[in-house]
Amino acid sequence: MLSINGKKRNIIEIQKHHDDFKLPGIRFSVSGRNIRADMDVYCYLKTFYIYTDINNIESVFGNAVFPSLLYGGRVYQVKSSLTSLHLAQLKEMSIGFSITLTNHFFDEEAYKQSYSFLETHHRKGNSVICGSDRMAKRVRKDFPDYKLRASIIKNINTVEKVRKALDLYDQVVIPMDKNDDDGFLEKLPQKWRIMLFGNAGCAYTCKARTCYYGFSQTNRHEQSTSDCSKEQLPRLDLGKTYFDIKKFHEMGFSHFKLIPSVRDDEAGSFAVDYTKERRPPLKTLIRKPVYYICSYPKSGRTWLRFVLSNYINLKFNLNIKVDFHSVFTLIPNFGYDRHSGVEVYDYFSDNRFPLILASHAKYDPEKYSDGKIIFLLRSVYDIMVSDYFQNTDMLKRWNGNIKSFIRSRESGIYRLCSYFNSWVQFLQEKKALIVSYEELYTDAESTVSNVLGFLEIPVDKQLLQQFLKSSSFPEMKKREKEKGVPGIDYAACATDTLMVREGIVGDYRKYLDSEDISFIDNVYEKELTPESKNLLSSMSLIS
């Protein structure tokens, strides 16, 4: 026990007590707050909990990719959520998933929205951390295999409150400031059902913890009216604090919560590099039919992805709000990427619909040998204009004007011709669905129906009409303004710049003069193979 500012505290210097966190019989529930999609769970645990033995970790607590309205404790973010791949790894390692459904507010609408999510992860070994007794009772009734844990948010800080909570919950978390009250700890009943904090951050000395209320509001898509109380109620800042768990274990306690032992900026890159060494080939992860949406950039892939994601969400009652973050959990990019790659795909085990992967890559027989292709085309002139604005206003990759852009061999019409030539032989020989942006624009309902049929997803005409409204360009712009697109630094973009522009067919006429159009025509005439020219001209995508 150390004395700080005249107060005795059950805290230790971790450098002198490494072995205390590996004592036999001690079990940890550790936070997943710093995990990312490009981290392997094993690498994450080994990196961020360096003082513990993985065999002593009984569960990881946090959010999954599914955006439950019942999350609390922290603001929900896809980028720091446990993916379906993470959860599969935890299951293989016999480590449970503790779902932080600690929102201050509970109602039937939020419970209904999260019901299928709770159903998916309902198994012995997993647990639900509750901030509401009402919700705990519902989960107990509907999903009896979950272990129920009373959250710190409930502030169970008296012996009487603990006794009452133990009537409903399997485990009760005690606020970390009570770790210094030996008399209180000694009096607690059924210590094997009590969970203490093994370490803590700012919440240890916080007098109000008002931020939790604001997090709950944010996770319900409401305006936050409560934030950190530090300015109003100054507190002692002890930084990352470790508690004397050896002493607590001798008192009869065996379950402890841990937050990451090291900072994300110190350990994140190491965990990612460690993951790359252990990462399995992508195709070994896939256990369902695979389809690919392949296209040159700015051919309408974002629109088609948004349309299909909205339909799948509605058709299969996935209960998510489709935006430019969650869309990748339904239709990820082909490859590993922590924001938009296959790591964030959340439906590997759902066989009601296929895995749809999106790619801008040239044709590669090894990459695309195991799936069916939806190939998306667009007028080469509109592509050039849209790609120019993407690379100037949005990505800041091009400093010149549009004339120099379309004439560049690295980024202009030459690159586009090379892309088409790489694909055309496959498109002639294999069964692929070829769709044009112009068809989507003029007859979205019929075109999307054909795409769904190709994907072997049942077509519901009424749903089609409903989701097409929610996938309009104004709606997509609205969603982008609300949350942005992963990986894009909007602060560096030109004012009011969005990835979603106007989407107007023939809009190129406002930006290309007759000289530009003649240049494009001359280049594709020379650079495109006869097969590529036939394909594009048959769909009126070149002159």
Angstrom distance (rounded) from CA 85 to CA 347 = 10
409-423 mean pLDDT: 92
- Listed residue (457, 205, 211) closest to 355, CA to CA: 457
pLDDT at residue 530, rounded to an integer: 93
Residue pair 352/316 in contact by the 8 Å Cβ criterion: yes
Q: What angle do CA 431, 336, 354 make, to 5 degrees?
A: 40
116-132 mean pLDDT: 96
Q: Are residues 300 and 185 in the same domain?
A: no
pLDDT at residue 283, rounded to an integer: 59
Burial 144-172 (b: 16+ CB within 10 A, else e): eebbbbbbbbbbbeeeeebeebbeebebb
Angstrom distance (rounded) from CA 349 to CA 168 = 32
Residue pair 487/340 in contact by the 8 Å Cβ criterion: yes
In this structure, what token pair is assigned to residue 243?
């508690």
- For 357-412, the pLDDT digits (tens) are 999 999 988 888 777 999 999 999 999 998 888 877 665 677 788 999 999 888 89
Work out how many domains the chain is built from and give that number: 2
Residue pair 457/312 in contact by the 8 Å Cβ criterion: yes
- For 318-368, the pLDDT digits (tens) are 998 888 888 999 999 987 777 788 878 889 888 999 999 999 999 988 888
- What order do you get walking across the sheet with 290-295 strand by strand? 355-359, 290-295, 372-377, 432-436
Residue pair 286/348 in contact by the 8 Å Cβ criterion: yes
Q: Are residues 95 and 167 in the same domain?
A: yes
- For 158-189, the pLDDT digits (tens) are 999 999 999 999 999 999 999 999 999 999 99
Q: Are residues 260 and 308 in the same domain?
A: no
pLDDT at residue 268, rounded to an integer: 67
Q: Are residues 129 and 176 in the same domain?
A: yes
Amino acid type, 374 = I
Q: Are residues 265 and 381 in the same domain?
A: no
pLDDT greater at residue 227 or residue 99: 99
Q: Are residues 163 and 252 in the same domain?
A: yes
Q: Are residues 289 and 160 in the same domain?
A: no
220 inside domain: no
CATH of residue 150's domain is 3.20.20
- For 277-333, the pLDDT digits (tens) are 666 555 556 678 899 999 999 998 988 998 899 899 999 999 988 888 889 999 999
412 inside domain: yes
Angstrom distance (rounded) from CA 440 to CA 294 = 15
- For 514-529, the pLDDT digits (tens) are 999 999 999 999 999 9
Percent of the chain surpassing pLDDT 70: 85
214 inside domain: no
- Specify the pTM: 0.73
HEC profile for 181-217? CHHHHHHCCCHHHEEEECEECHHHCCCCCCHHHHHHH
CATH of residue 510's domain is 3.40.50.300
Sign, Cα dihedral of 78, 79, 84, 88: negative
**What average pLDDT does the chain have?**
86
Examine the fold and report which residue of 276, 292, 326 is the final residue of a domain before the chain moves on. Answer: 276
Helix axes of 301-315 and 444-454: crossing angle, nearest 10 degrees = 70
Predicted confidence (pLDDT) at residue 420 exceeds the cutoff of 50: yes
Q: Are residues 167 and 195 in the same domain?
A: yes
12 inside domain: no
Angstrom distance (rounded) from CA 212 to CA 73 = 5
Amino acid type, 445 = E
Angstrom distance (rounded) from CA 88 to CA 345 = 12
For tokens 């990451």, name the residue: 260
- For 222-277, the pLDDT digits (tens) are 988 877 756 665 555 556 899 999 999 999 999 999 999 876 666 667 667 766 66
In this structure, what token pair is assigned to residue 465?
């009409």
State residue 48 phi and psi, 5-degree precision.
-90, -10
Q: Are residues 348 and 497 in the same domain?
A: yes
211 inside domain: no
Angstrom distance (rounded) from CA 338 to CA 321 = 20
Predicted confidence (pLDDT) at residue 154 exceeds the cutoff of 80: yes
202-227 mean pLDDT: 81
Examine the fold and report which residue of 276, 295, 321 is the final residue of a domain before the chain moves on. Answer: 276
Of 7-21, 30-44, 220-234, 248-262, minimum mean pLDDT range:
220-234
190 φψ region: left (φ > 0), alpha (ψ -120 to 50), beta (else): left
416 inside domain: yes
pLDDT at residue 18, rounded to an integer: 87
- Listed residue (111, 180, 122) closest to 147, CA to CA: 122
Residue pair 104/53 in contact by the 8 Å Cβ criterion: no
Q: Are residues 265 and 351 in the same domain?
A: no
Predicted confidence (pLDDT) at residue 499 exceeds the cutoff of 50: no
Percent of the chain surpassing pLDDT 90: 55
70-92 mean pLDDT: 91
Examine the fold and report which residue of 276, 304, 333 is the final residue of a domain before the chain moves on. Answer: 276
- Listed residue (381, 480, 356) closest to 438, CA to CA: 381
422 inside domain: yes
* Domain membership of residue 28 as a residue range: 22-201+240-276
Q: Are residues 463 and 348 in the same domain?
A: yes
Q: Residue 465 — very low, low, confident or very high, per pLDDT cuts 50/70/90? A: confident
Q: Are residues 159 and 45 in the same domain?
A: yes
494 inside domain: yes
